[in-house]
Amino acid sequence: MIEQPDHRLVEAARSGDTESFGELYRRHYPTIVGVAYAVLADRHLAEDAAQEAFAIACRDLGRLRRTDKFTNWLWGICRNVARDLARAKRRHVRADSLPELIDKPSKDGLSAAVRESVQRLPLAAREIVMLRYFSNLSHAQIAETLGITRQAVHGRLVRARRRLAEDLRRSGLHGRES
């Protein structure tokens, strides 16, 4: 089955076809949650933010002028929603209850350490790491989504991984396993 391009689906959705919007939702949900996760560092909150972003997009789809820029537009909405949620989280949660908001560490201490290290990356690097490893997008998909070349994606990921490795080594995890 041939996959419809985004702009066709956006146009169909604008004419009231909810199934087309559903297809957009299914197609972009993991990416959008990844974008929100990069800001919020909480899977549940990220899913809340992504769903809210889709609700806003659904309501305001008629205002989107360039249907070929749907992804960037949706990202923008999601980032704003996630930032609002992050601000609300800071306002409403006392410092001593903050650990509850962070995803429970898995039994594997390594995963937890990696997650924490990812959160210490700059936002742009964090986003690309989340798209690759949380949303499971390929280099080509990330390139298409971000509007950059595959080589650029590769380069950014390599740099992000290098920073992560250095951060993990500074955290004292260097050389734990043999």
Partner 1 sequence: MKDYLDDDRLEKALNSAFGPPLEPDFDGWRQRHPEAIAALKAHADLPAGVPVLRRLPSAVGGWLVNHRRVSIASACAVGTLLILAAWIHHSDPPGKLQWGVTQPDKEVAMNSQTSRPESLPRAEHPQRESTATKRKSSVGHERPGATEAVVPPPLDPAPPQAALSSNAPSKSDHVVGAASTARRIPLSVRLVYLSSVVRAKMVDITPKHVEFSLTKVLYGTDPGEIFRVPCVPDVDGARQALRTALRFDGTTGPYNPSDAEVWEHVLTMNRFAKGREVILLLQDRRETAINPEYQWWGTWEDSLRSPIDRYQKKILDVFESGLHLTPPDNPDDLAIYIQLSEKIVRARLVKIADDSIQWELVGKVHYPWPRRSVGPRQPAEAGDGPPVESLDFSLEPWRIRAEAIVRRGLTLQPGQSPPEDAVRRQLSLLVGQELKPGKEAVLFLRHQRKDGLHKTRHPMLGIVYADPVNPRSLDQLESSVVEIIEKRRHEGVR
Taking a C-beta distance cutoff of 8 angstroms, is the pair 89, 40 a contact? yes
Q: Least Å distance between CB 33 and partner 1?
A: 6
Cβ proximity to partner 1: between 76 and 105 the closer is 105
Q: CA angle at residue 121 from 95 to 49, to 5 degrees?
A: 60
Q: Least Å distance between CB 99 and partner 1?
A: 12
Q: Least Å distance between CB 41 and partner 1?
A: 11
Instruction: For residues 134 and 74, give the distance between their C-alpha atoms in angstroms, rounded to a whole number.
Output: 18
Cβ proximity to partner 1: between 106 and 147 the closer is 106
Cβ proximity to partner 1: between 2 and 15 the closer is 15
Q: Least Å distance between CB 175 and partner 1?
A: 5
Taking a C-beta distance cutoff of 8 angstroms, is the pair 95, 124 a contact? no
Cβ proximity to partner 1: between 15 and 95 the closer is 15
Helix, strand, coil shares of the chain, percent, nearest 5, are 80, 0, 20
The contacts of residue 124 (CB under 8 Å, 6+ apart) are 156
Q: How many residues would you count in the chain?
A: 178
Q: Least Å distance between CB 2 and partner 1?
A: 20
Nearest alpha carbon to residue 67 among 149, 12, 122: 12
Q: By CB under 8 A, name the binding residues for partner 1.
A: 13-16, 18-19, 21-22, 25-26, 29-30, 33, 37, 43-45, 47-48, 51-52, 54-56, 58-59, 61-62, 85, 88-89, 92-93, 97, 100-101, 103, 106, 108, 110-111, 114-115, 118, 129-130, 132-136, 161-162, 164-166, 168-169, 173-175, 177-178
Cβ proximity to partner 1: between 106 and 138 the closer is 106
Nearest alpha carbon to residue 27 among 37, 42, 13, 38: 13
